[in-house]
Amino acid sequence: MVNSDYAVGFYFSLSFGGEDAAFKEVSGISKELSIEEVASGGENRFKYRLPNISSSKNLILKRAIISSGSQLITWCSSTIDDGLANAIQTKDVAVNLLNNKGEVLVKWTFYNAYPVNYSVSDLKSQESELVMETIELTYNYFDIKPSSSS
């Protein structure tokens, strides 16, 4: 018997600061606990591997460039262009993985996020590809909330 309730990676939504945004791709959702190796005096056969701090990758968002303005692009521009002349405005960003009925299966919330990189794909006259924009966000931490119906 095959379970048809498995999550698929193409059905997700993203929102930041109350605004929904459509993206083709979201990557960088990961956490890692680093370790520190400590040698014990007199014991030469091994080192103790002790847990240290956790770290995360930046969240990377990709979508086709849109001609109308968006709050997200305004936020990126003001954060990156202003440097440290003004205080960085952070936002909580939520990525929701949805089931086939549009219900949230898993929600990742990235706290105190702000943009650190904005780029546009290469423009090539010989190819008929969509022009993509990539936004890279850094954040303090994220949490994972599975659906309460799971």
Gap between the Cα atoms of 147 and 108, Å rounded? 11
Q: Say which CATH number the domain at 119 has.
A: 2.30.110.20
Nearest to 94 by CA among 39, 8, 16: 16
In a domain, 48, yes or no: yes
In a domain, 7, yes or no: no
Q: E-assigned strands of the chain? A: 12-16, 19-21, 25-27, 31-40, 43-56, 59-64, 91-98, 104-120, 132-138, 141-146
Beta-strand relationship, 91-98 and 141-146: unpaired
Total of domains in the chain: 1
Residue type, 102: G
In a domain, 30, yes or no: yes
Gap between the Cα atoms of 91 and 138, Å rounded? 11
Quote the domain boundaries for residue 61: 12-146
In a domain, 49, yes or no: yes
In a domain, 1, yes or no: no
In a domain, 58, yes or no: yes
Residue type, 59: L
According to the model, what pLDDT value does residue 2 have? 46
In a domain, 2, yes or no: no
Tens of pLDDT along the chain (150 residues) come to: 445 566 677 788 888 877 788 888 999 999 999 999 998 888 788 888 999 998 999 999 998 887 777 788 888 888 999 878 889 999 999 999 988 888 888 999 999 999 999 999 998 888 888 889 999 999 999 999 987 654
Residue 141 phi/psi, 5° resolution? Answer: -165, 170
